[in-house]
Amino acid sequence: MPPNPFRTRPRSQNNWVIDTVAQKIIIDTDPGIDDALAILFALAHPDLELIGLTTVYGNVPVSLATDNALRLVELADVDVPVAAGAAKPLCISPRGHADFVHGADGFGNSNLPASARQAVAPHAAQFIVEQIRAAPDAVTLVPVGPLTNIALALQLAPDICEKTRVVLMGGAVHEPGNCSPVAEANIWQDPHAAEAVFAANWHVTMVGLDATHKVTLDQGFFTGLAERSPRLGGFLNQIHQFYLDFYATRYGDRVCAAHDALAVAAVLRPDLLTFESGAIQVAVDGIAEGQTLFAKPGQFDHKAEWQGRPEHRAALNADCEGVKALLQDALSTLD
């Protein structure tokens, strides 16, 4: 078995060092307003090569997630394949969609015209496997929705662990959840899939609410984007109006979290986040369903349920101004 290239590189406590020259990434997504920001950010940054978008139910049904992903690649005028994926969780009944957060169309009721483009034929899980196997070097998976497609890809081809690392948006260590007192939305939507992803022997970086709640964007941020990049920045400003209104109603301040974009930022600039290493498990039923449980290395090795769990890392904090500057610089290059 060839060594996982990401595992042969040095790691320090807070910064898992990797090369950042045009890393190949696949974003698995449920667009979604903050998903759109993450995708355009990834497309805009020269150190990333977005080799595919795979779609999943979550913020919207998977058919709409796919249409929205196609709208985004058409808007950005890039030739990035889109593969449609799971319509429902692995084991539990579907939870419903977050139209009160993202609008009925997933883009803040902006009613963007349909794209003429089509999704590619393979299911998202198959697409992920094919892309990883075909890539000469390692691929970074950036899931920013429920983890169903990633778990299905692992079922199809467990060997992908050898060539892949995962930097996902989801979960929480100390921060309360946003779907229950302990569960974050992407994990809560499919806890069994999330548990499969954290149980697998690859390196997962969990960018959860502890970090994403630190990176907040206000109207001034989006006004600036629209001024510097009238078409695509203007689109992001337009769709974020609904998202900002949701945050104002729910939390009191008209500022929103850059959840999904922070996962992309963690690929590019891990030095802008702080991490703690440890094993992660997901509660798959009961009142804590969807909770991510974090154990420091060795801490609970005397307990059977923690023995042999792979070591991952969880983001616990982020440099808000540093991430905003990273986003602004990249997005300002768009038209």
Residue 259 appears among annotated catalytic residues = yes
Q: 36 to each of 110, 290, 328, how far by Cα in Å?
A: 13, 24, 15
Show the binding pattern over residues 92-121: x = contacts ligand BDR (CB under 6 A), - = does not: ------x--x--------------------
85 part of the interface to Ca ion, by CB under 5 A = no
144 part of the interface to Ca ion, by CB under 5 A = yes
**Minimum distance between the CB of residue 260 and Ca ion, rounded to whole angstroms?**
5
Q: Are the beta carbons of 272 and 323 closer than 8 angstroms? A: yes
Q: What is the DSSP string of 55-89?
A: E-SSSS-HHHHHHHHHHHHHHHT----EEE--SS-
Give, as one character, the DSSP assignment of residue 117: -
- Hey, which residues does 275 pair with through a beta bridge? 315
Of 148, 150, 147, 146, the C-alpha closest to 131 is: 150
Closer to ligand BDR at the Cβ: 260 or 319?
A: 260
35 part of the interface to ligand BDR, by CB under 6 A = yes
What residues numbered 251-280 form the site for ligand BDR, per CB under 6 A?
259-260
Residue 302 appears among annotated catalytic residues = no
283 binds, among Ca ion, ligand BDR, none (CB under 5 to 8 A by kind): none
Reduced to 3 states (helix: H, G, I; strand: E, B; else coil), residue 28 is strand
User: Could you tell me how far CA 289 lies from the centroid of its own chain?
Assistant: 20
146 part of the interface to Ca ion, by CB under 5 A = no
Closer to ligand BDR at the Cβ: 100 or 121?
A: 100
So which residues are the catalytic ones? 30, 259
Binding site for ligand BDR (CB under 6 A): 32, 34-35, 59, 98, 101, 144-145, 169, 178, 184-186, 259-260
